[in-house]
A and B are shown apart, each in its own frame.
Chain A
Amino acid sequence: MSQEPLLKKPESGKWTDAYPQLGRGPISLDDCVSAEFYEKEREHIFKKNWLYIGRVERLPKVGSYFTRELQVLNTSILVVRDGEDSIRAFHNICPHRGNKLVWKDDPFVETEGTTSRLYCRFHGWRYGLDGHLIKPSRQDLLLDFEPGKCQVPAIQCEVWNGFVFINLNSDNKQTVSDFLGDFAQGIEGFPFDRHRQTYKFKAELQCNWKIFMDGFAESYHGPYLHAGTFGALTALAKLDAPNQYTDALGYELKGLHRMFSFYGEPSKETPYSLPIEKLVQAGAAGPWNKRPQKDPLPKGLNPTRSEKYGFDSFQFFPNFVLIFSSSGFTTHAHWPTGPHSHIVEVDMYYLPPTTHKERIAQELTVSFLNDVILEDASPLEGMQAMLNSGAIKEFHVNDEEILIRHLHKTVQDYVANAEKEKK
C-alpha cells in the first residue's frame, strides 16, 4: 500500500473548508420532522436510487430466494437466484389477480427459502424464476389472454461485490458501481466473501432514519454519550482542545456519498479493561493482540495512511452504511417506516472463527457493540420527540459534524431539484 495519504486536512485546520459549496451556518432540520418532506423523500430518493437489500450469501443456490418488506417503497420485494450468475428482483405479486406471491403464514413477515418456480397459492398459477408465466391453471377458461403481458413485475437488480441492490426507477441507466463511485472503487479487492461469520441485529426506532445515521457519522459524541463504554477515551479526552482520540482522522465527501476514517489502537488490555474482557481477551474493537493483517488493505481504506487507524465508515446514498474494522465489515441499512421512525438493520460480517476461543471472543465483541448501539438509540428517540415539538428549526453543526451537514444538504437538495424537474 502506498504510504502517500489520499486524504489530508486543509491547511486552514477545518475539513469544511475543503467544500466551499457546503455552507458553514446552521442547517434546517425540517427534513427530519415534516411528514410532507418524508413523502417527497420516498418518491424522489427511495423510489429512484439504488438501494442495498442484502448479501448474496443469502442466495446460495439456484432457486434460493428472500423477500423484503419495505414500507418506504410501498411494496414487498422478492429476490431470487435464477442462475449461477443471475439474481433477479420482482415486486412480490402475482400478475393474475394481485395476490402476494411469496410468503409464509403472515403476508407482512419477510421470508426466505428455495424453490424451483414461483407458485401462486390463490389460483395455482406458476412462473419461472425469471418471472415468466409457465402455466396458468385451467387454461380452458382463458379469454383474450396474452401470456407475455402476464409476468411477475421485474425490478432492476444488480450485485456489486456480493451486495445486492435494487432500483425501483425503471428508467435508471446507471450501474451500481457508477452510482457508488470513487469510494466503491477504493474498496474493490476487500475479501468480502471470506467474511462469512454473521451476526445480525434489527430494531424499529422512533426516530427519522437520518437522525440515526447522524449519530454514527461523528465520533465527537464518544467521550460524552459513551462515557460508560469508552472509559479510556473519556478519561483521556481533553476538553476544548483537539483530541486525537475522538477527532476523526479524516472526512471525505464525494458527490452523494461520504466517509470518515477513525482512530484506533490495536485492541489490547488497558487500565480500563473489564474483567470479562481480560477473561476473553477481546473488547468492542475485536480480539486483543491480533496478528497484523497479512493482506494489504484496498487503497481506499485508511485514506490518511495513519498508523493509528481503527475503522472507516462509508455512508452511501441514501441509506447504506459500510464500516470496515479490524473485526471485518459491518453494514447498517436504514429503512424509514414513517417520518419519525425507521428500522435499522446492523449486520456484522467477521472471518469465521477457527477455534472455540476465537468464537467466544467474537461473542464478546458482538455483545459489546449491541450495547453501544443501544446507548445511542434511546437518546436519539428522545431527540426526535423534541424535534417534533418545533421548538428549534435548525441544527448548529461544527467541523467534526461535516458528514451530518452533507447528509442533510444532499437529501434536501436532491428533493428540491427533483421537485423543480417535476414542474
Chain B
Amino acid sequence: MNAKLPDAFKDLEYLVGEWAIEDGHERYLKRVNSTMDEMKVFYNAMAPRGKDAIDYLDQYDYQQALPDDAENLRNLLFTLITVSLAVELWRQPRVKNSAKTILTRLC
C-alpha cells in the first residue's frame, strides 16, 4: 500500500506512514508506546479534518473495497479514535490505573 490520500487530504499524507494503522491491536500498541506529545501532534493535525474525512468516506459503497487512498484515510480515522481516548479522556497513553495490562485484540 502506498502513502497516498485523496486530493482534499493531500496535506496529511505525511501522517500515513506512521499513523494509518488498520489492525486494531497494532493501533492500540501504537497508542501505549507513544508519548502524549507524539500523539498530540497527530491528534491536532487529524481531529479538525475528522468530519470531512468521514463525509468523504461515506460516499463509498461499504460493500466495495475502498481505493488505497481512501483506505489510508479510513485507517487514519481509526487511529484518531484510538488516540482520542488517550488525549481527551485519560490524558495519558494508557487507561488510568491500568498498570501494564492491555487486552489483545484478535479482530
Contacts and interface: CB of A to CB of B under 8 A. Distances in A.
Interface of A: 198-203, 205, 228-229, 274-276, 279-280, 346, 353-360, 363-364, 366-368, 370-371, 373-375, 377-379, 381
A379 B28 CA distance: 20
A339 B42 CA distance: 43
Q: Which 3 A-B pairs have the closest CB atoms?
A: A276-B84, A356-B57, A200-B106
Contacts of B66: 356
Nearest to A197: B107
A276 B103 contact: no
A357 B58 contact: yes
Contacts of A356: 54, 57-58, 60, 62, 66, 74
Contacts of A357: 54, 57-58
Contacts of B58: 355-357
Most B C-beta atoms less than 10 A away, residue of A203, A276, A346, A364:
A276
22 contacts: A202-B104, A229-B89, A274-B85, A275-B88, A276-B47, A353-B62, A355-B62, A356-B57, A356-B74, A357-B57, A360-B74, A360-B81, A363-B78, A366-B24, A370-B28, A370-B103, A371-B89, A371-B90, A373-B103, A374-B95, A375-B98, A378-B101
A128 B107 CA distance: 31
A371 B105 CA distance: 12
Contacts of B5: none
Most A C-beta atoms less than 10 A away, residue of B58, B78, B103:
B103
Interface in B40-56: 47, 50-51, 54
Given A274-B88, A354-B62, A355-B58, A370 B98 contact: no
Nearest to B70: A356
B89 A279 contact: no
Contacts, number: 104
The secondary-structure label for the interface of chain A is: helix
A199 B81 CA distance: 15
A371 B82 CA distance: 10
B81 A276 contact: yes
B95 A375 contact: yes
Interface residues of B, number: 35
B106 A377 contact: no
Contact of B99 (A203, A373, A378): A378
Contacts of A276: 47, 50, 80-81, 84-85, 88
A142 to B, nearest CB: 43
A59 B31 CA distance: 34
Nearest to B88: A274
Contacts of A199: 24, 105, 107
B104 A201 contact: yes
A201 B106 contact: yes
A347 to B, nearest CB: 9
A271 to B, nearest CB: 15
Contacts of B89: 228-229, 274, 371
B104 to A, nearest CB: 5
A302 to B, nearest CB: 29
